[in-house]
Structure 1
Amino acid sequence: MLPAPAMYHFPLPEYRHISGEKLAIRIRISSGHELTSVLLRTEPDNEEALTPMVLELDDGRWQWWSASVSISTHDIQFMYSFKILSHTQQFWLDAAGVTKRAPLRHRQFRWLTSNVPPDWIPHQVFYQVFPDRFCNGDSALNVKDNERLYHGTQPVKAMNWGDPILDQGDHLAFYGGDLPGIQQSLDYIRELGATALYLNPVFDSPSTHRYDTQDYLNVDPHLGGNSALQKLCHDVHQRGMKIVLDAVFNHTSENHPWFNRWSESDIEGAYQNTAGVNAQRYFFFDIANPDSYHCWKGAHTLPTLDWSNEHVQDYFCNPSEGAIQYWLSEPYHIDGWRLDVIHMLGDGEGARNNAARMQQIRHAVKEAQPNAMVLGEHFFEATRWLQGDQEDAAMNYYGFATPVRAFFASQDIAYQPCQIDAEDFDEWLTDARTQISFEHQLCQFNLLDSHDTARFFTLVNEQFDVMKQAVMMLMTYPGVPSIYYGDEVGMSGQNDPYCRACFDWTELSWNTELLDWYKTCIALRQNTPVLQTGAYATLHAKGDVFIFIRFDAQHATVIAINRGASSTQRQVTLSQWDCTPNRKEKVIGEAQWQDNTIELPAYGCAVWHLIR
């Protein structure tokens, strides 16, 4: 049986573009193979159609085949793949590579017919801030000891900045971080190279994490209130930066007036009258028992909203006065929403009609501000929410953070053993990447860690060389990098709540070598357009070595990583990039590249720009 020819199709204009009213599509195939036909497979009416492609060029090395087809508009995504025939064999090319049989639908190439994510997203580097622990800008706003009770019985605690995290009751511990502190730190964030902020919840809430919202239209006064957010948004936008806020629409605080668990409001809440109007906004398993309400993962402080209720829908999604629109409009004009546990939101006690509700939320966001970002939180595989009708991006735990953790730290998202080699790593990344459109790939919210996970520096036992490799991966892989506050200066900490310590503003305590590396890698990304919007291909994935390329028609950048404890040499060819570089310019790292051989030191990594 003859080997398959090399064949490539990438989401770049020279491979596909609109020509008149049709989509012109090209495929590049290695010369020297006796092909009888090359066919473009589409589904114009959900039925297979095979369009013959025309050989337009054969330079002795590569053949270029082309076809033009009308784009069906019955779906947001126009799907296609390629069928290549010889006298005795057939091969197929889909988004994940070459196969010998027709590809499954989820592996096909995608062209978005509508709902393209905002084009500003791929150009950002996000900086995530947990407000209470980042910077105390106005001590007059600080929570005072015993100022209020949490869950009706537990007094809150006023902590000194930098005090150790409480082993129990960290949700009661307030350190005094606030929005004025973030505003005063914008120059630091911008100097790092970050261009966008993602803030954990800022709305009025009884806890320090603020995922239990009790007022969606008012910023917590201990963070500075609405005026502080207005000033912060103004200063962010004055610097040409973006700001995305956390939205907790799946559940409320038990203190929300609709629920009023502890009778702190004059309103008759669901807990006071399980047959009342407000009770219809929640779900009770037993209407005669006020304690039988459905809540997030069994946490009785977080009663779950019932999105089948039209008042709930209207409160958040009303086009003229909904809570979603309120913050997207002036004077705040935030640039998007991060939707907390959005996959759990739905009608009744669970996630029934989740897709319809997510589409409703998306519509409300885009109606208020078409260029706003819709970012969903998903710890696991999120393909279904990234098909164009719901989210612009997901927090990319499954498609980036978890495989990166497995490759570099030998753990999965549950901190259980997970040892993978570079082949497994590449397969994992490919599976996640190729099931969504290229535009959505570029917007995926890539992260090493967050407020919900252990610090990555801790996971790799504070090994600087390993952390360097992970940071390089974060800044060069397709998607939008997000830095969790303090990672850049070497903050450590186990899982929640220990990952939420106060930022130490004493510069003598910083890991300046790591900080300089972050700045170097961020600058590399910001100064290299193909790292923001270029196509991707794996060049080598075996054992401890992972090498990939980002490229467009004119430029290419190669990233090489050796996680092993020994130096190694690997052969690399550049057939994916349809250019022959005149020289290779190393911009980061100690590795060497001679002819087709890359030599990487132990725990080494390097980046080259290929110059035509």
Structure 2
Amino acid sequence: MIRRDRLFHDLTLDYHQPPQPKPGKQVFVYFRCGQGDAGRITLIYDSEVASDEVEMKIHHSEDGFDYYLAKGIVPKTSGIVQYYFRIESEGETLYYDQRGAGETVPDKFKFRMIPNFYTPDWAKGAVMYQIFVDRFRNGDPDNDVLTDEYNYVGGKSIQVTNWNQYPDPNADIREFYGGDLQGVLDKLDYLKDLGIEVIYFNPLFVSPSSHKYDTQDYDHIDPHFGKIVSDKGNLLTNSYSNKDATRYIDRVTNKKNLEASDELFAKVVAEAHKRGIRVILDGVFNHCGSFNKWMDKECIYENAKGYEKGAYVSKDSPYHDYFGFSGGNWPYNNNYEGWWGYDTLPKLNYEGSKKLEDYIIEIGKKWVSAPYFADGWRLDVAADLGHSEDYNHSFWRRFRKAVKEANPDALILAEHYGSAHNWLVGGEWDSVMNYDAFMEPLTYFLTGMEKHSDGYHGEFIGNVDRFWDCMLGAAAENFSHPSLLVAMNELSNHDHSRFLTRTNHVVGRCGTRGHKAAEEGVSKAIMRQAVVVQMTWPGAPTIYYGDEAGVCGFTDPDNRRTYPWGTEDQEMIRFHKEMIHLHKTSVELKTGSLVRLDAGEGILAYGRFNRISATIVVINTKDYLTVSEISLAPLGIPEEARLVRVMESGSKGFKTDALTYSVKNGKLVRAYGADSAVVLQYSRITAVNEESFWSTNFFRM
């Protein structure tokens, strides 16, 4: 009889060498089964150039397991190689794919090897930190946006002088709290101490909004985030000009301010790099803002020195083809294509202008090159760029080639909902913000809430089978192994409610429920459960600024509250530090294998492991103490072993003092408290050393 729980393969280094193979090079594929269980194991593969079956041979046996090996040459084509395994023994036949053992093998669950596709090693399992700059820290009050400084989307800018004030849902895009790059620079040591390895910045380029997803000038950092060294600039003489707009226009068209801001960004990156922290920029290339110097609907640049006429200002503008105008002759009024119909967000018309495409490609290269040296891009609504899927793929292939040539170690992540398979087959994006295979399934499993707090499904809480089906199904659909390890695993971000708020099961938004409702009845224990999963799941755990300090909030704009300097939840920060440290010091949590463990109804259990060590995670979603017996056979560790508890969180807090547990006959029997999260670890090296210690001391007696 074939013991299913002992069968295992994935594309980690222990089972697939090398994990990122090169065309024409040799590859070694290993498969694990229970010792003596299999009569024959066959590797079955399919590629663009060949399909075949390879009988595997036993390579070695260890701790009650047989390890089979097949060798081969990676095809020289760049196409995908799909494969799976057939295991036969005494009339029994099983197949093995990404789901594990079964009787059938759907195509989507076959293992995928993509020759010549690599993601940066530094990003695999890297701990990231997302900063919405205006709300992180005000380090330079001299660059603050002032009240009535300019008009934007039917209202004037508002300077918020009370750092702790809630964002106004009716005016948030015009509200400015003063956060800036100097504030980030001032807190780099805080981020280093927290354990952060990568900063992901929401947009930094010139823009009139607080969120800056309506880019005005891709060539420069916004002086309100950077430096304002001069308020003197170009006075407006056109019909739109008014005294309220003058200061803003002077500040963001003044070359001294722009150059000083760019220099400050370069300094932030350099200082981050000194601390071992990488920096990723947000690229909003599908659309720009109506303020953009190419459109200039608000006539900001019409008479500014050194700028060409915008497409809205002049029919002879060199940028006319950058946009999709319709409805007759100039003047065009609002007859241009806006993203989702918003006239403040003109969609860029790449198919109509090779010059525009070339320009954005150069922007992609510019910021990852000297003197800025950013480490990559997060791409906003990347699948929407262009007007056809064919063009979209063509653009991202060119973008990837250009960016990787400028900086071979650059990371390219995309915002995407739904299947990203077509963009992750080797020539376009490295990975995505992992909504479908992380944020959403985990949120439902622990809270029952939709990620915007727009709905509640209590029946999803603790539904372990549904959790695994969603997580593994979406992962198999989206990711090859190199993409999975750099996927951005977030609990919260600037588009969704704060995870801590979701724990209170309140459906609604701040406009209807009020800000306080986002803070009431939250569960820190459930938040800690989520962080434990985040820091132990394959991918790049990404903290949204303030989550580690206990910040709450409904969806946009309430999720963009300021970081609570001076009133942080220090216990939550300490917990994040402990889990980040555990993640960074346990190799299996960065690049190791993942396997499901069976712990019973309402209890999520899984292991991350390699041939040297293993981490076991157990999450009890029940509101009462539960005893569970868990078989650890899927981890490939000896049946008699010792585990060390390194983290335990519950309703009363958390503890990290080491406790040792014995595994007997491959089983771990233990009690788990209500809403608890437990992390235990096994080390083969420690086990060998303990064995040596006891043997040596025995013979000394």
Instruction: Using structure 1 for the length normalisation, give the TM-score.
Output: 0.93
- Which of 358, 368, 375 is matched with 1:314 structurally? 358
Deviation track 1:268-303 (CA, whole Å, cap 9, x = no partner) reads 433345686523212235455542322222222111
Deviation track 1:128-165 (CA, whole Å, cap 9, x = no partner) reads 111111111111111111111114x4211111122221
> Quick one: structure 1 residues 599 and 99, their matched pair in 2 at CA, closer, same or farther if it must change by over 3 Å?
same
- Which stretch shifts more, 552-561 or 590-599? 590-599
Deviation track 1:514-554 (CA, whole Å, cap 9, x = no partner) reads 11111111111122111111111111264321111111111
User: 1:589 is matched with which residue?
Assistant: 648
Structure-1 separation of matches of 2:389 and 2:29: 39
Structure-2 separation of matches of 1:57 and 1:555: 19
User: Aligned-pair RMSD on alpha carbons?
Assistant: 2.4
- Which of 128, 134, 137 is matched with 1:135 structurally? 137
Structure-1 separation of matches of 2:599 and 2:220: 50
User: 1:9 is matched with which residue?
Assistant: 9
Compute the displacement of 1:187 (Å).
1.1
- Which of 33, 52, 74 is matched with 1:29 structurally? 33
- Which stretch shifts more, 67-76 or 122-131? 67-76
Query: SS of the residue aligned with 1:120?
Result: helix
> Quick one: structure 1 residues 21 and 142, their matched pair in 2 at CA, closer, same or farther if it must change by over 3 Å?
closer
User: 1:233 is matched with which residue?
Assistant: 269
Structure-2 separation of matches of 1:607 and 1:168: 44
Matched, 1:404 2:442: yes
- Which of 546, 561, 575 is matched with 1:517 structurally? 575
Contact 2:48–2:79, Cα closer than 8 Å, also in 1: no
User: 2:98 is matched with which residue?
Assistant: 95
User: 1:478 is matched with which residue?
Assistant: 538
Matched, 1:51 2:54: yes
Compute the displacement of 1:87 (Å).
5.9
User: 1:434 is matched with which residue?
Assistant: 476
> Quick one: structure 1 residues 256 and 137, their matched pair in 2 at CA, closer, same or farther if it must change by over 3 Å?
same
Structure with larger Rg: 2
> Quick one: structure 1 residues 422 and 293, their matched pair in 2 at CA, closer, same or farther if it must change by over 3 Å?
same
User: 1:83 is matched with which residue?
Assistant: 86
Query: SS of the residue aligned with 1:443?
Result: coil
Contact 2:2–2:89, Cα closer than 8 Å, also in 1: no
Compute the displacement of 1:417 (Å).
2.9
User: 1:578 is matched with which residue?
Assistant: 636
Instruction: Using structure 2 for the length normalisation, give the TM-score.
Output: 0.81
Residue type matched to 1:416 in 2?
G
Structure-1 separation of matches of 2:192 and 2:73: 45
- Which stretch shifts more, 47-56 or 16-25? 16-25
User: 1:278 is matched with which residue?
Assistant: 319
Residue type matched to 1:489 in 2?
A
User: 2:338 is matched with which residue?
Assistant: 295
- Which stretch shifts more, 136-145 or 283-292? 283-292
Residue type matched to 1:335 in 2?
D
Paired residues in the alignment total: 601
Matched, 1:41 2:53: no
Contact 2:614–2:681, Cα closer than 8 Å, also in 1: yes
Structure-1 separation of matches of 2:340 and 2:207: 19
Matched, 1:62 2:98: no
Deviation track 1:466-512 (CA, whole Å, cap 9, x = no partner) reads 01100111111111111111111111111100111122212xx2222
Query: SS of the residue aligned with 1:270?
Result: coil
- Structure 2: gaps of 5 or more residues: 227-260, 303-307, 505-521, 651-658, 685-701
Contact 1:274–1:287, Cα closer than 8 Å, also in 2: no
> Quick one: structure 1 residues 503 and 229, their matched pair in 2 at CA, closer, same or farther if it must change by over 3 Å?
same
Contact 1:422–1:541, Cα closer than 8 Å, also in 2: no
> Quick one: structure 1 residues 293 and 110, their matched pair in 2 at CA, closer, same or farther if it must change by over 3 Å?
same
User: 1:158 is matched with which residue?
Assistant: 159
Contact 2:63–2:636, Cα closer than 8 Å, also in 1: no
> Quick one: structure 1 residues 570 and 310, their matched pair in 2 at CA, closer, same or farther if it must change by over 3 Å?
same
User: 2:364 is matched with which residue?
Assistant: 324
Deviation track 1:107-136 (CA, whole Å, cap 9, x = no partner) reads 122333212100000252111111111111
Percent identical residues: 30
User: 1:373 is matched with which residue?
Assistant: 411
Query: SS of the residue aligned with 2:295?
Result: coil
- Which stretch shifts more, 183-192 or 275-284? 275-284
User: 2:680 is matched with which residue?
Assistant: 608
Compute the displacement of 1:358 (Å).
1.5
> Quick one: structure 1 residues 428 and 99, their matched pair in 2 at CA, closer, same or farther if it must change by over 3 Å?
same
Q: How does 1:148-187 map to 2 (within 5 A)?
A: 148-151=150-153, 153-160=154-161, 161-187=163-189
User: 1:333 is matched with which residue?
Assistant: 373
Contact 1:42–1:81, Cα closer than 8 Å, also in 2: yes
Contact 2:529–2:649, Cα closer than 8 Å, also in 1: no
Deviation track 1:162-219 (CA, whole Å, cap 9, x = no partner) reads 2221120210011111111110011111111112211111110011111111111111
